[in-house]
Structure 1
Amino acid sequence: MRPLALFDLDDTLVDRRAAFNAWAEEFVTARGLDDKALTFLILGDAHHSGPMDRFFAMVCQTFALAEPPERVWEQYRSRMPELACCRAENLDALRRLRRAGWRLGIVTNGMTDNQLGKIRNTGLDALVDAWCISDEVGVRKPDPEVFRLAARRCGASPEHGGWMIGDNLVLDIAGGHNAGLRTIWLQPKRRPKSWSFTGPAPDFTVDSVAEAVEVLLERN
């Protein structure tokens, strides 16, 4: 039976933070805003969780924009896939897994147009068997069902074992664990000063996707 590996998208396979920062710089420049506005956007995004509609409502209110939040959010979702990139070493690592016979999938929260654009524009669509985007399937991480659905789309089942690799301890690690998967945590380069997590511990902790792939290859 072919082994299964599911990956998170943003800040795991794709450098979402860098893409957002580039978008924020364009946003500020286009509207004649200052460096304080740029800092506000970057920090606001860093502390935001969940769907981005409320974030863009706050942005439009803060800067008294004439554009409705829905339009700004739509423009953001159109531009982000163009700014997103997947490191060459991440692509190479996925190719190694495929050559070794693994089934590969992506599990991501977010809007379908935004996330699917990232998957396609970075070439990840050619390297994985399937993906699940929360907006498309109506289930968000950490709900175990989204992992089970991703596994089934890959032609596998978490009941037969598998792995989830991601950067978020709640969404990826606890969610994957509760779906019956083993987990690998891609730890952030900078952790918050106040750091606490009481959920299930990851099976392994790594610093890169390439290192996570080495763990998988050594255990299959």
Structure 2
Amino acid sequence: MGYLGSGGYLLDGAVELVEELKEKLRLAIITNGIREVQLSRFAKADMAKYFEHIIVSEDTGFQKPHLGIFEYTFNKLGVTDPSRVLIVGDSLTSDIQGGLNSGIDTCWYNPNNKPNHTLIKPKFEIKTLSEVLTLL
């Protein structure tokens, strides 16, 4: 587990995006995995400071796409209107399906322009992180 948490890698434009979003919005991370590993990754990437909460599936007893992890997050953030929430994620089966399950808007980060051959249909699709700003 120590090796899994030893790296913190960022996508191009990630820091710039969260710096701009933090000025306007409340931000949280929902991630599947082991708490120790995930928190170490975010700390090494110096990203934790931008997020109000980092929700790790190990702490909730549920993994994305289960509605339980989203309800847990909504409770932590005091969200009463899911229609004002957007999830941005790279996984159709966990991030986007989870967002659909919880009634929030979904944005699939698809930098490699992979075809979507599933029945999972995100509301938005982007190829670069900066495109998130156009959705707000």
TM over 0.5: yes
Q: Check whether the contact 1:107–1:132 (CA below 8 A) recurs between aligned residues.
A: yes
**1:187 CA displacement:** 1.2
1:143 corresponds to: 66
Q: What one-letter code is carried by the residue in structure 1 that aligns with 2:123? A: D
1:129 corresponds to: 52
Q: Which residue, 78, 84, 90 being the options, matches 1:167?
A: 90
1 or 2 for the larger relative contact order (CA 8 Å, sep ≥6)? 1
TM-score with structure 1 length normalisation?
Answer: 0.56
Structure 1 CA distance for aligned equivalents of residues 26 and 74 of structure 2: 9
1:89 matched to 2:13: yes
The CA RMSD over aligned residues, in Å, is: 1.9
1:206 corresponds to: 126
**1:163 CA displacement:** 0.6
Structure 2 CA distance for aligned equivalents of residues 159 and 91 of structure 1: 25
Distance 1:152 1:160, change over 3 A: farther
**1:196 CA displacement:** 2.0
1:120 corresponds to: 43
1:215 corresponds to: 134
**1:188 CA displacement:** 4.7
CA distances 1:146-184 after superposition (whole Å, capped 9, x unpaired): 112122222324535311110111111111011010000
* Larger helix share, 1 or 2: 1
Q: How does 1:44-55 map to 2 (within 5 A)?
A: none
SS at match of 1:107: strand
2:2 corresponds to: 78
1:196 corresponds to: 117
Q: Considering only CA atoms, is the larger Rg found in Structure 1 or Structure 2?
A: 1
Structure 2 CA distance for aligned equivalents of residues 207 and 198 of structure 1: 20
**1:185 CA displacement:** 0.3
Structure 2 CA distance for aligned equivalents of residues 87 and 197 of structure 1: 25
Uncovered stretches (5+) of structure 2, i.e. residues with no partner: none
CA distances 1:168-213 after superposition (whole Å, capped 9, x unpaired): 1111111101101000000151638xx62012x111100122222x
Uncovered stretches (5+) of structure 1, i.e. residues with no partner: 1-76
Distance 1:168 1:87, change over 3 A: closer
**1:130 CA displacement:** 0.4
Percent identity of equivalent pairs: 24
Q: How does 1:175-190 map to 2 (within 5 A)?
A: 175-189=98-112
